[in-house]
Amino acid sequence: MVPNRRYIQIAFNHTTYEVWRILPQIPQDPRIIIEAGTPFCKREGMDGVRLIRRKWRGILVADLKVTDGAREEVMFAYQAGANAVTAAGTAPTETLDFFMKTCAKYNVYSMVDMLNVDNPLRKLIPLKNKPNFVIIHKGRDEEVNPRKIIRYKDINKVRSKFGVFISVAGGLDQNSVRTAYFNGADVAILNIVEQYDENKGIFENANFRVLIPKILNEIGA
């Protein structure tokens, strides 16, 4: 990862068939991060992560949202080929410290997801070890609530204290990624969504060979 460069993160949340069909259409570009989403990991396990690794040479995130047992879960993901893992920001401080320490041991990017964390900065301050990434996240289920917004104000609060990469997730699509970067994000996370999904993202039937280079070109990554 290079500071001051814009990245897009594409999240697979459904089936291995989706991976087989779509991932070969995505260019092997260093500005692209691929994510094995939480539902995908729960459905397919570490075999699903291994499948993505066989098809993707770049950064691969296992979105485990670790809440306990950090040492074991990071090790499982690492052995499956992930080079980035997420932990839930709501996890205990002790878990997050074990998580960061174990990620460093295996040379894996540590990502803390601040979904439902009221004050990300306050959560980070007592940690002995700081993450590589902080994710400012409005949950997929929260998209139905028009009063719920991505808390972009937390980006500058975190960045003023810690030199970490900032990822943003929550209702982003190819037309709204610019907003994330304008507000200081390094990474915009885009979910692959089914055609009739109520959530925003990239529709699974899109032409990824055309769409992804177009997004990269438009954001000036």
Closest listed residue to residue 100, CA positions, set 84, 115, 116: 84
Distance, in Å, from the CA atom of 220 to the CA atom of 217, rounded to the nearest integer, reads 5
Q: Residue 94 CA to chain centroid, in angstroms? A: 22
Distance, in Å, from the CA atom of 71 to the CA atom of 99, rounded to the nearest integer, reads 6
Residue 118: burial class (beta carbons within 10 Å; 0-12, 13-18, 19+): exposed
Q: Tell me the pLDDT of the chain (221 aa) as tens digits.
A: 888 899 999 999 999 999 999 999 999 999 999 999 999 999 999 999 999 999 999 999 999 999 999 999 999 999 999 999 999 999 999 999 999 999 999 999 999 999 999 999 999 999 999 999 999 987 776 766 676 677 889 999 999 999 999 999 988 888 889 999 999 999 999 999 987 777 788 999 999 999 999 999 887 75
- Sign of the CA dihedral with 43 first, then 44, 45, and 48 last: negative
User: Can you give the pLDDT at residue 201?
Assistant: 87
Closest listed residue to residue 11, CA positions, set 155, 175, 172: 172
Residue 96 contacts residue 120 (beta carbons within 8 Å): no
- In the chain, where are the structural domains located? 7-195
Distance, in Å, from the CA atom of 91 to the CA atom of 187, rounded to the nearest integer, reads 23
Distance, in Å, from the CA atom of 197 to the CA atom of 162, rounded to the nearest integer, reads 36
Per-residue tokens: 39: 């539902």
User: How long a stretch of residues is the chain?
Assistant: 221
Per-residue tokens: 166: 């900032």
The CATH fold assigned to 7-195 is TIM Barrel (3.20.20)
